[in-house]
């Protein structure tokens, strides 16, 4: 799994100026890390013949949701679904949870909602886009084992 677009999370956006709703230098750092992580799939595969590795680009999947949320059934991009504590990450004791959590990208200040995780898992399983899953998707990988 890649590192998510940290610069788009509510906890990061809370106290920093954003461009298009995200802190770009944090996203660039995550993107750089992810590109190196993706390249390890080929390196490790060569060093471990017979291994099956999949790189799931949750960064891209979440960014796509943020860029075009309504097409994915998401309506609240920059907000979390819960009342947060003072640090913006953790839940506040006795805090409120929004009624429609499936319409949000973030559950708390950092973590994706179940609705977003379902989209990531679905793409990991069936996507044929190398930008979303690399080298292959999980469905194809499991068929080759059967």
Residue spans of the domains in the chain: they are: 6-145
**pLDDT, tens digit (0-9, with 9 covering 90-100), for 17-49:** 776 789 999 999 999 999 999 999 999 999 998
* Residues 6+ positions from 74 with CB-CB distance below 8 Å: 65, 103, 104, 105, 115, 116
CA distance 124 to 45: 18
> 57-67, pLDDT tens digit by residue?
999 999 999 99
């Amino acid at each position: 799994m890649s590192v998510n677009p940290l610069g788009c999370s509510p906890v990061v956006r809370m106290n920093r100026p954003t461009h298009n709703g995200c802190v770009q230098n944090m996203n660039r750092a995550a993107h750089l890390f992810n590109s190196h992580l993706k390249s390890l799939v080929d390196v490790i595969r060569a060093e471990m013949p017979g291994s099956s590795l999949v790189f799931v680009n949750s960064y891209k999947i979440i960014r796509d949701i943020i860029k075009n949320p309504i097409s994915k059934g998401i309506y609240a991009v920059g907000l979390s679904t819960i009342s947060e504590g003072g640090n913006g990450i953790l839940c506040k004791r006795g805090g409120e949870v929004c009624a429609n959590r499936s319409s949000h990208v973030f559950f708390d200040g950092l973590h994706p909602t179940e609705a977003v995780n379902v989209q990531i898992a679905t793409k990991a399983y069936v996507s044929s886009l190398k930008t979303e899953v690399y080298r292959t998707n999980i469905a194809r990988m499991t068929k080759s084992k059967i």
